[in-house]
Structure 1
């Protein structure tokens, strides 16, 4: 089972600000930006109110969210989806990413309503870069090929000033 870093009171405040609401059903921090801020959180597969929540890895870093939105607005997802239909190796790797996502989430609870549902359109299409990038950051390189590709296109988003720590994005902590 993948272990996540617990959220401190400061982390909870940062995540609430990033989301614009109080976070629900948090498991922990799945990835931190180099400045130490939570950038991806892991969320329980069933929220405290009982509703199923398929987005186990949730991208919160506002710089990453903005870059994903920029890429999505540029229309790259249609091309990525088309490549899944033409490139068997990519399709197989993306299917493995889907299975990895499902296994990570299942370790925190089975939710029958979410059976075989991961996130971001996996395994057959590219629907949400935010979810795929969150998975790529949390799982590390080589697990989610589309998330890795999107990260490459985004460049070092964390080098822009951190809205919480200022400066150049570097600072306390590091990627986990």
Structure 2
């Protein structure tokens, strides 16, 4: 599991600028670049007794915009078609989904697990994959998938890096 770290005051201010608000439910920084710019935040499982949609949140505005342009170009649908036509890619993607579910649940404390069960949210943490998706052969959000990739590695993230050079740009990001 990727080790998250607590942000410095400078990083906390960057995170506020990235998000446009005070961060809520942040456990720490999961990924930063060589300039100490936060790229991915690790999030609490519950925020105000409501499930947070993902374990890893893409915080970089620049990276968010780059991925938004990829999504706007219709790449999600193309990637879903590719998953259906390439069994090996689908197998890797499904394994990434299971690894994410396992990692997310393993990151919970016993107290958090108990509260999740009390609130009736257990299925959200044991059956729903990256971005809270129930159909693992689909893609809900490239932002959440790429955040997971940066924190843990994934087949989908590798494709985005290969095709769009996202990984090459990480150290150039300023916010």
Q: Normalized against structure 2, the TM-score is what?
A: 0.82
1:138 aligns with 2:151: yes
Q: State the partner residue of 2:83.
A: 84
Q: State the alpha-carbon separation in 1 of the partners of residues 9 and 173 from structure 2.
A: 22
CA RMSD of the aligned region, Å?
A: 1.8
One of 85, 104, 127 as aligned partner of 1:116? 127
CA distance, structure 2, for counterparts of residue 36 and residue 10 of structure 1: 9
- What is the CA–CA distance in structure 2 between the aligned matches of 1:152 and 1:129, rounded to whole Å? 15
Match of 2:160 among 147, 150, 164: 150
Provide structure 1 residue ranges, at least 5 long, that are not aligned to the other structure: 164-176
1:25 equivalent to 2:25? Answer yes
TM-score, normalization by structure 1? 0.82
1:23 is displaced (CA, Å) by 1.0
Greater fraction helix: 2
1:162 aligns with 2:174: yes
Q: In structure 2, what is the Cα distance between the partners aligned to 1:2 and 1:157? A: 21
Aligned to 1:168: none
> What's the CA shift for 1:113?
4.6
Segments of structure 2 that go 5 or more residues without pairing to the other structure are 117-121
* Cα distance between partner residues in 1 of 2:106 and 2:8: 22
In structure 1, what is the Cα distance between the partners aligned to 2:30 and 2:164?
19
Report deviation, 1:147.
Answer: 1.6
TM-superposed CA distance for 1:118, in Å, is 2.0
The aligned length equals 159
SS of 2:41's equivalent in the other structure is strand
Tell me, in whole angstroms, the C-alpha distance in 1 between the residues paired with 2:102 and 2:5.
18
- Of 75-84 and 3-12, deviating more is 3-12
| Residue correspondence of structure 1 range 23-102 to structure 2 within 5 A | 23-47=23-47, 49-102=48-101
CA shift digits 1:73-103 (9 cap, x unpaired): 1101111101111211111100111112112
